Structure 1
Amino acid sequence: MKIIGAGFPKTGTKSLHAAILKLGFGTVYDALENAVYLQDEWKTIFEHGWSDEIFKKMYERVDAVVDAPVFYFWEDIYDAFPDAKIILTVRDNEDVWFKSLKQHMERRDKILTLHLLEWFSPSWKRTQVMRHNCGEIIYGDRYMFDSKWFGRKMNEQLLKLVYRQHNAYVLHKAPKTKLLVFNVKDGWEPLCKFLDVPVPDEPFPHTNFKGGIVQHWINTHPLVLKMKNEMKITLPSILFGAAMLLGVLLYSKKW
């Protein structure tokens, strides 16, 4: 483990993910990788607690971690990997952050494929334990990361308070020589200086613009493509089974 992302979602974590890969760090675990590859470990952590040994085993072959739920456990992961560097991604202010979060979640709710995955992909359903625990413990809303059909209510004051408290805690507790407070608008220079790597001769990546990363993942991410293939098998099977049951019931009534 070389880099621990301690920044809240919607602070440029997807852009940081892309930048870290471009800088030559091989394996980066984002929220999706954690939810799929490490769902059992996170279930244990949320329900029974954790230790340095658990995190060492989880991330022994991973170069960097970003986004949920690792940003919330940054200090404990750092205890397991004390040579790692910590990056706290931030927005210009908490109003900008909340607006981005709200926009992301509302756009996410409009994606029909995501609703269907929650119902008909076994792999997606298995991520529910981590999603519900993250929502409840971090945001105070157990169903924060579930898709909402009929509108989403978000407690702006509470969410801003949680964001503010988290950033203050990181600034207070993280070793100053190991911490970079990073706004992705600042580009390559501060990040490359902090990581002691050359500045690439290309623009800094800016991904997940206005919440577009979810649709991009649905179209391209190998883990989500696998879930979509599961859905293509599960959904027709359920519909066929329901049609057969209906046929049997109607036939029984007829006779």
Structure 2
Amino acid sequence: MKIICSGFPKTGTKTLACALGALGYNVYDFIENFWYLDKEWNEIFNRGGNVSHFKRMFENVDVVCDLPACFFWEELHEAFPDAKIILAYRESGDEDDWWRSMRNQMMKVDNFLFRLILAATPTGYRMLQFMRNIGRVVFGQLPMSRWGPVTYNETLMRKSFRRHYNHVIQNAPRDKLLIYKASQGWEPLCEFLGHPVPSAPYPHKNVRGDVIEVALQSHPFMREMKFELAVVASLVVVVIGSVSTWAVYKCWHWW
């Protein structure tokens, strides 16, 4: 582990993950943490974890970003004490601005196709449980159910955001911490990491909370879940067709 991105979602984490990937780092964002490590994370959520857990989970990973890893930045740094820490902020640095963006992101999760995938496919249900555990541990609430709408407690989420950022600023080693905004571009990031500045423009991801729509269209993990949904739908059609045929047959013979 070389870099721990300790910023909460909706502070430019998707853009930062993309930028670090462009610099050649192997990045585990939210989706990689779910896809490869959900069993380990669920164990930590429910029973706790120690240095050996984190070392084993991330021994071949350069960077962690977004939830749930950002919330456990301190434990990760204990496991990888040479790692640098990047605390991302929104451009305004304002809690109200963060909350508006976070609320918009949660509403985007109510995308019909995405919710159907979460409710009706095996992998989707795994992701739902993972997201519910994150909500419980990080924000003190369960924001999603299998079929119901997304719910949230604004007070608890704001308090979690405030507490987390204050804790990072007060406790991260000063010589290993970069407080960063995406608008600063490549220069401070590359200087902090000891990289030459790329010629390519600095990326800009998850514009207006569109990460779910983009993932549904292009992410290989999401494509696999969409395939599962197609299989489930096909099975439902076959079962309904079989039952209907049997019912018609019985009715025909009864008459």
Distance (Å, rounded) in 2 between the aligned partners of 1:100 and 1:192: 27
Matches within 5 A, 1:191-230: 191-230=189-228
TM-score by length of 2: 0.92
Structure 2: give runs of 5+ residues left out of the alignment: none
1:9-65 CA distance string (max 9 Å, x none) = 11110000000011111x111111111111111121111111111111111111101
Question: Comparing 214-223 with 100-109, which one deviates more in the overlay?
Answer: 100-109
Distance (Å, rounded) in 1 between the aligned partners of 2:188 and 2:20: 13
Distance (Å, rounded) in 2 between the aligned partners of 1:82 and 1:202: 31
Matches within 5 A, 1:18-167: 18-25=18-25, 27-91=26-90, 92-109=93-110, 111-144=111-144, 152-167=150-165
Q: Is the 8 A contact 1:3 1:86 kept in 2?
A: yes
Distance (Å, rounded) in 2 between the aligned partners of 1:147 and 1:96: 29
Please tell me the residue identity of whatever aligns with 1:67. D
What is the DSSP-based 3-state SS (H/G/I as helix, E as strand, rest coil) of the residue aligned with 2:109? helix
Backbone CA RMSD of aligned residues: 1.8
Distance 1:13 1:148, change over 3 A: farther
Distance (Å, rounded) in 2 between the aligned partners of 1:35 and 1:160: 24
For these two proteins, the number of residue pairs brought into alignment is: 251
What is the Cα deviation at residue 178 of structure 1?
0.7
Q: Is the 8 A contact 2:143 2:151 kept in 1?
A: no
Distance 1:85 1:95, change over 3 A: same
Please tell me the residue identity of whatever aligns with 2:2. K
What is the DSSP-based 3-state SS (H/G/I as helix, E as strand, rest coil) of the residue aligned with 1:154? coil
Q: Is the 8 A contact 1:108 1:211 kept in 2?
A: no
What is the Cα deviation at residue 232 of structure 1?
1.2
TM-score by length of 1: 0.92
Kindly, what percent of the aligned residue pairs are identical?
A: 39
Please tell me the residue identity of whatever aligns with 1:234. V
